[in-house]
Structure 1
Amino acid sequence: MRIEIWSDVVCPWCYIGKRHLESALESFPHADDVEVVYRSFELDPTAPQVPVETTVESLAKKFGTDVAGARELMKRADGAAAAAGLTFNHADALHARTVDAHRLLHLALADGGPARQRELKEALLAAYFTRAENVGDHAVLRSVAVDAGLDPSRVDAVLASDEYADAVRADIAQARAYGANGVPFFVVDEKFGVSGAQPTEVFTQLLDRAWTESHPQVELVGGPGADACGPDGCAI
């Protein structure tokens, strides 16, 4: 079973939804047979490469309030994060474009597979939300990526070019084709979609249903007891 997750590394509900899915997978009996792949989505592709304001200042401008008002708005996600075992400290992080972080996530997938990509995804989310680091800064991205096990020379090559930019655009186009205008957005086996940081129970139901439909059981009609041959021979 394959789960594709469209998200951004500066999206609070993406981090919270990630934890909810992980909680569901912990109790899913077929978790070892589930592959999780992250897809790119830029919440603000117009954000500057070199930031000029903080996250809370950007939100204040977006919602027509002041910084104090924006901090109050952020408390809802902060509370949900705490309930999921996360601590958010990103209000004063710099607001920057995330395309380069997404390009590195594609590098991680290509060179290390889904497991390495998941490790980098978690590291990028922690860098932004826990340590309030600028995930648009190449020095920060390089440090996080190398610590997550990526080859330093490949990281440098990707950051110095536009490699994987086409893959990022393709992911965004696919999200829109699915009708997703926001993230997180989860797609299981290209058949079932879930929008938003749904509760763990919803993900549990999703996993059970997707597994049942992809691994149908044969319904026994007529009941046991009819004559048949088995590994110990035939009844005569």
Structure 2
Amino acid sequence: MSMRIDVWSDVVCPWCFIGKRRLERALAGFAHADEVEVVYHSFLLDPDAPQEPVESVAESLGRKYGGGPDAGRAMVAQVGSVAAEEGLDFRLAEAQRASTVDAHRLLHLALAEHGPAVQRALKEELLSAYFLRAENPAAADVLLAAAQRAGVDEDRAREVLAGTEFREQVFDDVDRAADLGASGVPFFVLDQRYAVSGAQPAETFARALEQAWADGHPVLQPVGAPGDDSASGAVCGPEGCTP
């Protein structure tokens, strides 16, 4: 019996990329990693972001919190230093503020028609496009290139982007996150038992993995007669019976 991890995140969320790396590091040291399935769900950090970008992330942050683009660049530099510790070279200050709804629709396509492994590959491609190459997360050519690299059928990806397919599933995910009490991302649910909020250290993920696995795969505890420390009674086997 495998264990499932459901992850709510957005493709323009820096802590989601960092949290992804930390979870992967924990899984690399987990004895049952081959039996763990990771599935991604949609979350919209900026539901009002435009389809066509009009400003950079640094400009957007500086406008929202004050201080202008320089203040915005300082904000993203802080998270960039943490990302570097996970081997990620962020270009977040150059990235554009744009809608991620279409990116999430493709992630639903990948899961529905190709399975969790291809969805995870697409998630990595989308995060890399945005954070490592500062590409527009709403641009059809960027999304199609990411889908193709991840192994998503190109014709289906074009078809989905041309219409509204999977849009309902995106917003269902958003509503589900609210039901679970997730006001921010990343948000991880392990085996429908344990929730891990935020990009916790890999050690925290490792402990959560062990606990969730132990709960889902209980070990039998032998019980013997009163005063019998051996916890085993007389038995019969292929070689005969014990006295």
TM tier, smaller? over 0.9
1:228 aligns with 2:232: no
**Alignment correspondent of 2:110:** 108
Deviation, 1:96, is: 0.3
- Please, what is the CA RMSD of the aligned residues? 1.0
Q: 1:78 aligns with which of 62, 77, 80?
A: 80
Deviation, 1:233, is: 2.6
**Alignment correspondent of 1:215:** 217
Q: 1:187 aligns with which of 178, 186, 189?
A: 189
Q: What one-letter code is carried by the residue in structure 1 that aligns with 2:32?
A: H
For this pair of structures, how many residues does the alignment match? 236
Deviation, 1:70, is: 1.3
- The gaps in structure 1 that reach 5 residues or longer are none
CA contact (8 A) 2:57 2:96 kept: yes
**Residue 6 of structure 1 aligns to a residue in which SS?**
strand
Deviation, 1:232, is: 2.6
**Residue 37 of structure 1 aligns to a residue in which SS?**
strand
**Alignment correspondent of 2:27:** 25
The CA distance in 1 between the partners of 2:116 and 2:72, in whole Å, is 35
Deviations 1:2-31 (A, max 9, x none): 000000000000000000000000000000
**Alignment correspondent of 2:157:** 155
Deviation, 1:196, is: 0.4
Deviation, 1:189, is: 1.4
Deviation, 1:85, is: 1.0
The CA distance in 2 between the partners of 1:218 and 1:37, in whole Å, is 30
**Alignment correspondent of 2:148:** 146
The CA distance in 2 between the partners of 1:162 and 1:230, in whole Å, is 64
Deviation, 1:191, is: 1.6
Deviations 1:36-63 (A, max 9, x none): 0000001001000111111111111121
**Alignment correspondent of 1:14:** 16
Q: Segments of 4+ in structure 1 off by > 6 A?
A: none
CA contact (8 A) 2:58 2:71 kept: no
The CA distance in 1 between the partners of 2:194 and 2:95, in whole Å, is 35
**Residue 36 of structure 1 aligns to a residue in which SS?**
strand
Deviation, 1:224, is: 4.4
Deviations 1:171-225 (A, max 9, x none): 0010000000110000011121011000001000000000000011111223245
Structure with the greater alpha carbon radius of gyration: 2
Q: Judging changes above 3 Å, is the alpha-carbon distance between structure 1 residues 225 and 183 closer, same or farther for their aligned structure 2 residues?
A: closer
Compare 62-71 and 52-61 and name the one that shifted more: 62-71
Q: What one-letter code is carried by the residue in structure 2 that aligns with 1:227?
A: A
Deviation, 1:117, is: 0.2
Deviations 1:130-186 (A, max 9, x none): 000001111111111112111111001100011000110110010000000110000
Deviations 1:116-141 (A, max 9, x none): 00000000000000000001111111
The CA distance in 1 between the partners of 2:132 and 2:43, in whole Å, is 21
